[in-house]
């Protein structure tokens, strides 16, 4: 046996595992989405592509086309994700920039602070906010005392005093920011850290102002990091259902994930759930491929 095959054999168990439990399970989604259901409302997958039944897919697509509920939640999901992403970038970029370029001797400590949230259970971090934002919680009081509550009320982002958990879109967006921003900051940090200081110095030597050096050198060079971070954060946000459920539980803040969860895990109609899952996956597939390409390119650079 040649050594070429030895290594493939070593890889085999892992490849087999991923094939069965990742590829086949994904094919199960396709087969159920393009299948039918029996009289117990249980899904009947059609494994043979020749048998595929587009009826359920068609009714979901026509629902979206005619502005039905799936369009509503999809648009809301995109809006929430876009807002949360924008805010995350506004907060995350300066922080990553400071950590990478100006933290000096505090760098270790700052990095620890940036990494720590990763290892705290997401749901515990949400639970923490639920406690703080309840009507008599410390957070609600601080927001009131700092006048932030008043600003939110005036802007129409909060419907009543102390009502942060009463089903507010703003709370859901902020919770998404809080939940996912660590996943954005670290790739940003990595990208900014990789930039060669001499390039910026050269720009400054050539008479560029601090701001224009940033705009013309640092920012463009950090774009790959921004994109990678964006994808890393956007993907899980699109599939989120627990955040709106925990901090709002109102129908007015439900995202596409809530609909999928309702159809597949709680409800009786797994076929429609599979159709929605399939559509979401297809939309995100583009994003995924983009991300894989950037990471592979970055990986190739790192290997050089």
Q: Which of residues 156-185 bind other proteins (CB under 8 A)?
A: 159-160, 163, 165-167, 178, 181-183
CB atoms within 10 A of CB 273: 24
Q: CB–CB of 277/29 below 8 Å?
A: yes
Cα separation of 138 and 153, whole Å? 18
Tell which positions 205-264 bind other proteins, by CB under 8 A.
210, 231-232, 235-236, 238-242, 245-246, 248-254, 257-264
51 vs 196 by CB, closer to other proteins: 51
Cα separation of 223 and 290, whole Å? 13
User: Does an H or E element contain 136, and which?
Assistant: none
95 vs 221 by CB, closer to other proteins: 95
Exactly one of 81, 85, 114, 213 binds other proteins (CB under 8 A); that residue is 114
Query: Please, what is the minimum distance in Å from the beta carbon of residue 220 to other proteins?
Result: 18
Q: Which two tokens stand for residue 70?
A: 């799936």
Query: Please, what is the minimum distance in Å from the beta carbon of residue 132 to other proteins?
Result: 6
Q: CB–CB of 64/77 below 8 Å?
A: no
User: Does an H or E element contain 43, and which?
Assistant: strand 43-44
70-89 footprint of other proteins as x/- string (CB under 8 A): x-xx--x-------------
Tell which positions 94-113 bind other proteins, by CB under 8 A.
94-95, 97-99, 102-103, 110-111, 113
Under the criterion CB under 8 A, does residue 191 sit at the interface with other proteins?
Answer: no
Under the criterion CB under 8 A, does residue 187 sit at the interface with other proteins?
Answer: yes
Phi/psi-derived region of residue 207, left when phi > 0, alpha when psi is between -120 and 50, beta in every other case: left
Tell which positions 121-150 bind other proteins, by CB under 8 A.
121-132, 134-139
Closest CA to 243 of 162, 122, 136: 122
Burial of 180 (0-12, 13-18, 19+ CB in 10 A): buried
Tell which positions 2-41 bind other proteins, by CB under 8 A.
3-4, 6-15, 17-19, 21-26, 28-29, 31-32, 35-41
Q: Of 79-87, 116-124, 149-157, 216-224, which part binds other proteins (CB under 8 A)?
A: 116-124
List Cα–Cα distances, 236 to 5, 168, 180, in angstroms. 37, 21, 8
Q: Of 66-74, 78-86, 149-157, 218-226, which part binds other proteins (CB under 8 A)?
A: 66-74
Exactly one of 79, 82, 115, 151 binds other proteins (CB under 8 A); that residue is 115
Q: Which two tokens stand for residue 304?
A: 């050089």
């Amino acid at each position: 046996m040649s050594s070429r095959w030895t290594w493939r054999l070593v890889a085999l168990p892992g490849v087999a595992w991923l094939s069965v439990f990742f590829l086949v399970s994904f094919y199960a989604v396709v087969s159920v989405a393009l299948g039918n259901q029996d009289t117990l409302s249980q899904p009947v997958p059609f494994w043979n592509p020749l048998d595929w039944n587009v009826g359920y897919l068609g009714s979901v697509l026509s629902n979206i086309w005619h502005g039905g509920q799936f369009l509503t939640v999809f648009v809301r999901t995109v809006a929430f994700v876009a807002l949360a992403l924008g805010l995350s970038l506004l907060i995350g970029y300066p922080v990553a920039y400071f950590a990478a370029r100006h933290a000096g001797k505090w760098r270790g400590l700052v990095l620890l602070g940036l990494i720590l949230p990763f290892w705290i259970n997401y749901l515990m971090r949400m639970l923490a906010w639920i406690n703080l934002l309840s009507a008599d919680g410390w957070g609600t009081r601080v927001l009131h005392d700092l006048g932030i509550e008043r600003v939110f009320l005036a802007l129409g982002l909060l419907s009543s005093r102390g009502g942060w958990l009463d089903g507010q879109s703003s709370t859901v967006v902020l919770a998404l920011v809080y939940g996912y921003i660590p996943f954005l900051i670290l790739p940003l940090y990595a990208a900014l850290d990789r930039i060669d200081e001499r390039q910026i110095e050269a720009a400054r030597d050539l008479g560029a102002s601090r701001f224009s050096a940033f705009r013309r050198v640092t920012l463009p060079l950090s774009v790959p990091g921004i994109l990678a971070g964006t994808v890393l954060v956007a993907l899980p946000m699109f599939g989120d259902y627990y955040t709106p459920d925990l901090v709002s539980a109102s129908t007015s803040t439900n995202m596409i994930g809530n609909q999928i969860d309702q159809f597949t895990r709680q409800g009786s109609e797994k076929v429609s759930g599979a159709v929605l899952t399939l559509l979401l996956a297809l939309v995100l597939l583009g994003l995924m491929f983009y991300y894989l390409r950037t990471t592979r390119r970055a990986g190739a650079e790192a290997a050089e």
